[in-house]
Structure 1
Amino acid sequence: MRLSYGLSFWSTKGQWVTNLSQPCLRGSSGLFVPPSPPLNPEKVKEFQRFITLSKKLLVMTGAGISTESGIPDYRSENVGLYARTTRRPIQHSDFVRNAAIRQRYWARNFVGWPQFSSHQPNPAHWALSTWERLGKLHWLVTQNVDALHTKAGSQRLTELHGCMHRVLCLDCGAQTPRGALQERFQDLNPHWGAEAQGLAPDGDVFLSDEQVQSFQVPSCLRCGGPLKPDVVFFGDTVDPAKVDFVHSRVKEADALLVVGSSLQVYSGYRFTLTAQDKKIPIAILNIGPTRSDHLACLKLNSRCGELLPLIDPQ
C-alpha cells in the first residue's frame, strides 16, 4: 500500500511555512495503525486481573503506542515503513562518517520536525501516566524517541533509545534543544524549500537528492563539531549504564507489561528474557506477533489506546 503525502516547507517573506495534506484514506490517528479484532471481554477481564495483582508493574512501550498519535513505525503489517517502501533507516556508522549523509538526514528532519514535534499523547499515554500517579506503575521504559510519554506527564521514565527533542555534538557532547536547532536551520537556509513525498518514522520524510544538495547544516556552537539527535540510530548500541539501570528496575518489578512493541530489536527483547529468568509474569499488548509471545502468560491483539483506558489500575 502506498501512502502519499504533500508535506512542504518553504520560506516566504521571511517566514517559514509548513503544509501537510494527509490522504483521506483514514483519520490521522489511525493512519499507521494495523487492523485489529474487536475487544474480547474475557481477554479484557484477564488483563484486568493481571494489572490488579501487580503491585510493582514495569511497562515497556514501543512504536505501536504512538502510531495512534499519527506517528508511523517500521514494522506494523501493511502500514509500517518496511511495508510501504524499500527505504531503510539511517545507520549510525554512515551518519558519523559521512558529511553528505548528515546533510541529507538533517534536511529531511528539518522538513519533518514541525509535524513530528506537534504530535500529542493519545489515551494510552495518558492512561500510563495516570497509573504512575496512582502508584500502580513502578517504572516505564520506552523504546520511542517522540517524547509523548513526557508530554503526558510520565516521570518514572527511561527513554531507552533517547529522544528526538534533544541534539548532541558528536565531538564535545554538548546538548541543545531540537527546537533551537530548527531556528538555526532557518537562519542558514533563508531561501531553501522542499516538498516531501512521504513520511517515515521519527520525524523523517522523503526528499529528492536535488532538494538536499543546497541545504546548509549548522555545527556545534561550542566546538564546531557535527550534530546528531540524542537517539540511538540503527547499528548503534544503548549506553550500558542505561541497560543496567533498566535491568535493575525489571528485577524489582513483580510483573512486566509490553505495550506496542514487536520486540524484534534486542535492546527491548532482552528485558523480557530477564523477566522470564526472574519468573516475573509477562503480558503483551500488541497488534500482531512479537518475539516474546512464547514467554507471555497473556497476549492481547488490541489497540493500546482502546484497551488501556478500560483498565482500573487500583
Structure 2
Amino acid sequence: MSLLAPLSSVVPPTGHTIEYAAEVIRGRPLCILTGAGISTDSGIPDYRGEGAPKNHPMTFNEFMGSEARRRRYWMGAHLGWMRFHHARPNEGHLAIADLEERGMATGVVTQNVDGLHHDAGSKRVVDLHGRLDRVRCMDCGQSYARSAIETQISQDNPGFIDAVDENLIRPDGDVEVPEGIDFVVPRCDLCKGVLKPEVVFFGEFVPGSVFRHAQALLAQSGALVVAGSSLVVNTGMRLVSQAKKRRLPIVVINRGPTRADQVATVRIEGGTSESLSALRQAVGDSIA
C-alpha cells in the first residue's frame, strides 16, 4: 500500500462522490462499520429507513420479566426465522469481503445480527450486537444453534405456521402476530431455563470484550467507512468519535441523515450495495 496521503492535499470536487471518497482513503487500510441499511437489499428492512416497521422492538427487561412477552417474542421470531435465515449477502457485503481479501480493509464491525458478512466471506467480523443464529440459556449458560431450537419449536407447536398470517419481517427476525394463539415457548433441555437469542436486545449493553475487538480493528486502520447506519445506537457513534479524535478520514454512506454527518470527511447519500461496489472498484483503481 502507498503512504497515507495528508487530507490537506486532497481537494474535494463539487459535491461528494465515490471518486472523491477513493482519493480521501487512498492507501489507508479501512475499518468498515455497517448498519441495517446494508442488508435491505437482502430483504431485511431497516429499523429507521423508508418503509421500516413502525412498532418498537422488545426490550431486554420485557423479555426477561414476562413469560407472556417471551411467548410473544418467540411466536414472531419463529415466523420471521423462516425468511430471515434464507437471506443472502448482496453486493455491498461482497464488496466489503473483497476489500478485506485484497488487503484494503482490516475488517468489518457490524451492528447487524444477520450473519451476512460471514456468509459473504469476511474473515474479521466484529458482531457488535451478536448473532441471531445462536441461542443461549440465561440460567445455565448452555449455547445452542438456532436451527436446533427452531426444530424444537416446530415439534412442540405443530400447525402453528399455518394458523397465522406472516407479516413483514423485522431487522431482528421478528414478525408481528395476533394475540390469543396457543404456543409452547422453547426451554433449555438441560435446566429448563429461559432461552434467548445471542443478540443484544434494546436495554442491554454491548459486552466490553466485543467493543474492545471493534476498537482494535479501528486502531489498525487509517480510515473509517460507515455504511447503512444512521448511528442512532451509541456504540457505533463511539467508534466514529474515536476515529475523529485520531483525525482519521470518515466516509459516511447512507440513505437519510446520520449522527456523523457533521464530522464526516465525505458524505455520500445513496444505497450501500451500489456505493460500496463502486467504492471498491474506485479504491482498486486509485492504488493500481
CA shift at 1:173, angstroms?
Answer: 1.4
Relative distance call for 1:198 and 1:215 in structure 2 (3 A) is: same
Please tell me the root mean square deviation across aligned C-alpha atoms, in Å: 1.5
Deviation at 1:258, TM superposition (A): 0.3
Contact (CA 8 Å) 1:256, 1:281: kept in 2 or not?
yes
TM superposition score normalised by structure 2: 0.89
Task: Indicate how the Cα distance of structure 1 residues 42 and 297 shifts in structure 2: closer, same or farther if over 3 A, else same.
Answer: closer
Please state if 1:295 is matched with 2:268.
Answer: no
Q: Do structure 1's residue 199 and structure 2's residue 161 form an aligned pair?
A: no
1:225, 1:170 → 2: CA distance?
A: 7
Q: Distance in 2 between matches of 1:100 and 1:152?
A: 37
- Which residue of structure 1 lines up, in the alignment, with residue 21 of structure 2? 47
- 1:245 aligned residue (191, 209, 213): 213
> What SS is found at the alignment partner of 2:165?
strand
TM-aligned CA deviation for residue 42 of structure 1 = 6.4
Q: How many residues align?
A: 267
Identity of aligned residues (%): 37
Work out whether residues 93 and 117 of structure 2, in 8 Å CA contact, stay in contact via their aligned partners in 1. yes
Distance 2:127 2:272 in 1: 19
Letter in 2 for 1:158: V
Deviation per CA, 1:153-186: give whole Å up to 9, x if none: 1111100000111111111111111111111001
Partner SS state of residue 226, structure 2 = strand
Kept after mapping to 2: 8 A contact 1:166/1:175? yes
**1-structure distance, mates of 2:243, 2:154:** 47
| 2:250 counterpart (282, 293, 298) | 282
Equivalent-residue separation in structure 1 for 2:131 and 2:166 (angstroms): 23
Q: Map 1:60-99; keep pairs closer than 5 Å.
A: 60-76=33-49, 78-81=50-53, 85=54, 87-99=55-67
Decide whether the 8 Å contact of 2:16 with 2:267 is kept in 1: no
1:182-208 Cα offsets, whole Å, 9 max, x none, are 110011012333213433222111111
User: Structure 2: 5+ residue runs without aligned partners?
Assistant: 1-13
1:151 lines up with 2:119 in the alignment = yes
Is 1:59 equivalent to 2:32 in the alignment?
yes
Distance 1:233 1:42, change over 3 A: closer
**1:179 aligned onto 2:152:** no
Q: Matches of 1:273 and 1:57 in 2, distance apart? A: 16
Secondary structure of 2:267 counterpart:
strand
8 Å contact from structure 2 (residues 31, 217) kept in 1: yes
**Structure 1 match to 2:273:** 305
Q: Which residue identity lines up with residue 48 of structure 2 in the other structure?
A: R
Structure 1 residue runs of 5 or longer lacking an equivalent are 1-39
Residue type at the aligned position of 1:256 = L
Contact 1:251 1:274 in 2 (8 A): no
